[in-house]
């Protein structure tokens, strides 16, 4: 008997309990944000993949391809939001925040002048975004440096060839129950208590496989 094997996307689980980010991000917010919003994006994407030429692509490929040079295809919003949320949860950890160490800190100091400058730039970028979207720390491939960017709605910096390092969700559903209109307090608490420099270090190590951040090391003949 013939049977057809199909495979779709599942909801990935944050690497901590839903109440682990209290009091900076409440259990209720995580439950809704992960359990409802992200689930809806997963369901929406799977429904589209039923009949989509993107069936079988990896999520990352889909996010790059469906962006379609700024004329996003119908799958783009769901695919990018699934990717963004997964990346967002893993950008945080209970007891996070503070300041990075060693290589990451040096790179930040090199590219922003100081950690305080980086923090300020991240904050300004988050506060200047109008409407829903994301603020990111990315590694720019061509410039070979870290940079802060914000993007509207679902847009993911992979589309521009950049390598995401940190994402912070600025859709109101990410903070309204906890902070209402005080986006500044939300971003501030993310920086001081939630961002996982541990994850950032791992992501930077991976990114350096694609971008040489040091001086070219050319062996002498």
Partner 1 sequence: VSSVYWIKQQPLPYPTDALEPYISKETVEQHWGVHQHKHVERLNGMIGGSEWEGMSIGQMMLASFNEGREPPQAPFFHAAQIWNHDFYWRSMKPGGGGKPPERLLKFVNRDFGSYDGMIKQFMDAALTQFGSGWVWLSYKGSKLPHVNSKSPIPSDNYGRLVISKSPNAINPLVWGHSPLLAIDVWEHAYYLDYENRRAEYVSAVLEKLVSWEMVESRLRKAVLRAIERDGHTSMKQRRKEIHVGDASTSGEARRRPRSQDQQVPSSVTVMPAGEAVPN
| Residue ranges that bind partner 1, judged by CB under 8 A | 32, 36-37, 40, 77, 130-133, 152-154, 171-173, 176-177, 180-181
14-43 CB burial, b ≥16 within 10 A, e <16:
bebebeebeebbbeebbebbbeebbbebbe
C-beta of 12 vs 153, nearer to partner 1:
153
Nearest to 134 by CA among 95, 180, 165, 109: 165
Measured CA to CA, the distance from residue 54 to residue 169 in angstroms comes to 25
Q: Is-contact 90 165, C-beta < 8 A?
A: no
Cβ at position 26, least distance to partner 1 in Å = 12
Min. distance of Cβ 40 from partner 1 in angstroms? 8
Question: At its nearest, how many Å lie between partner 1 and the CB of residue 212?
Answer: 35
Question: Whole-angstrom Cα distance, residue 76 to residue 215?
Answer: 37
Nearer to partner 1, 127 or 205 (CB): 127
Shortest distance (Å) from residue 151 CB to partner 1: 11
Which CB sits closer to partner 1, 130 or 220?
A: 130
Nearer to partner 1, 131 or 214 (CB): 131
């Amino acid at each position: 008997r013939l049977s057809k094997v199909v495979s779709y996307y599942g909801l990935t689980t944050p690497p901590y309990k839903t109440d682990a980010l209290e009091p900076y991000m409440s259990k209720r917010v995580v439950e809704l944000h992960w359990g409802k919003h992200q689930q809806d994006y997963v369901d929406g994407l799977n429904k589209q993949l039923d009949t989509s030429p993107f069936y079988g692509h990896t999520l990352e490929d889909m996010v790059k391809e469906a962006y379609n040079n700024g004329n996003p295809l119908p799958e783009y919003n769901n695919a990018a939001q699934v990717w963004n949320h997964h990346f967002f949860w893993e950008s945080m950890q209970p007891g996070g925040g503070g300041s990075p160490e060693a290589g990451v800190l040096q790179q930040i100091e090199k590219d922003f002048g100081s950690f305080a400058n980086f923090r300020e730039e991240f904050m300004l970028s988050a506060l200047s975004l109008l409407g829903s979207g994301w603020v990111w720390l990315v590694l720019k491939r061509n410039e070979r440096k870290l940079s802060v960017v914000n993007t509207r709605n679902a847009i993911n910096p992979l589309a521009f060839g950049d390598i995401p390092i940190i994402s912070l969700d600025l859709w109101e559903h990410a903070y309204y129950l906890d902070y209402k209109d005080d986006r500044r307090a939300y971003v501030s608490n993310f920086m001081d208590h939630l961002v996982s420099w541990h994850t950032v270090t791992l992501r930077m190590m991976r990114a350096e496989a694609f971008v040489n951040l040091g001086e070219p090391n050319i062996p002498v003949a």
